[in-house]
Amino acid sequence: MAYRSFVAMGDSFTEGLNDAYPDGSFRGWADLVAARLAVDSGPDFGYANLAIRGKVMHEIIEEQLEPTLAMRPDLVSIAAGGNDALRVRVDPHALVRQLDGVVRRLRESGAEVILFRFADVTMHLPAILGRRAAVLNDGASMLAARYGAHLVDLFGDNAFHHPHMWAADRLHLSPAGHRRTAGHVLNVLGVGVNEDWMLVPPAPEPTPWLLARGADLRWAREHLAPWVGRHLRGQSSGDSITPKRPELAPIGSGF
């Protein structure tokens, strides 16, 4: 079907971090999906992206759900819980219960909903994140079945084990990762996709041990330490950020 409007809810994953336009603003998978959907829908297609980096589940619900419902979109994506999983104390089952209420309200409004099983990040982050992500992923599968939502299974795609899919911070997608995610979303929606978005380069040769440890130290200094510092100060990377597309607007507006 041709969707008339699309609203993207969430955090940095949906905001599009590390996939930059020439002016330095972020594109990401949601912008790519919206641009493709507009081809079928025409110039009146509306797109809004409310996602803001650093947001946790309750903030996404409190700040983004009511504005999304007010826009009455045909299609809504929501990806949330990743930042919660990074906290020392979190109940991932409670996060799934919160997400249940969001999906229910969106479906009651008549919107189709896109949910995600997150890609596997345990190859370069603590294993506890994998256990929490597994609960969120199982919850997304359950909610998709319960409410008839679209489920995008990034966890089941081994291409995301390739380092080329990830940015230098090892947590956010690279431009190639965003393109592949957009391809998965469009395939789930039954929309044709640019085959180049699904290409994955050959796996790199294993990094010698000393070089790998040096890379780990640089990552800890450049990415982990700043995150820990913000967390200890009660700050978020999204504190001064506003949604890049707060209202439904034609795809040519803001692209």
Q: pLDDT (tens digit, 9 = 90+) per residue, 72-90?
A: 999 999 999 988 987 878 9
Instruction: Kindly state the average pLDDT of the residues 183-203.
Output: 88
| Statement to judge: residues 115 and 187 lie in one domain | yes
| Statement to judge: residues 16 and 134 lie in one domain | yes
Among the listed residues 186, 171, 77, the one whose alpha carbon sits nearest the alpha carbon of residue 126: 171
| Statement to judge: residues 27 and 51 lie in one domain | yes
Tell me, what CATH number does 166's domain have? 3.40.50.1110
Q: What range defines the domain where residue 53 resides?
A: 5-198
Instruction: Kindly state the average pLDDT of the residues 45-65.
Output: 97
E strands of the chain, at which residues?
A: 5-10, 46-49, 75-79, 112-117, 150-153, 245-250
60 within a domain of the structure (yes/no): yes
Instruction: Report pLDDT for 230.
Output: 57
DSSP state, 195?
G
How many domains does the chain fold into? 2
pTM, entire model: 0.87
DSSP state, 20?
B
How many residues belong to the chain? 255
134 within a domain of the structure (yes/no): yes
Query: 10 Å Cβ neighbour count for 241?
Result: 15
203 φ, ψ (degrees, to nearest 5):
-65, 135
Query: 10 Å Cβ neighbour count for 2?
Result: 12
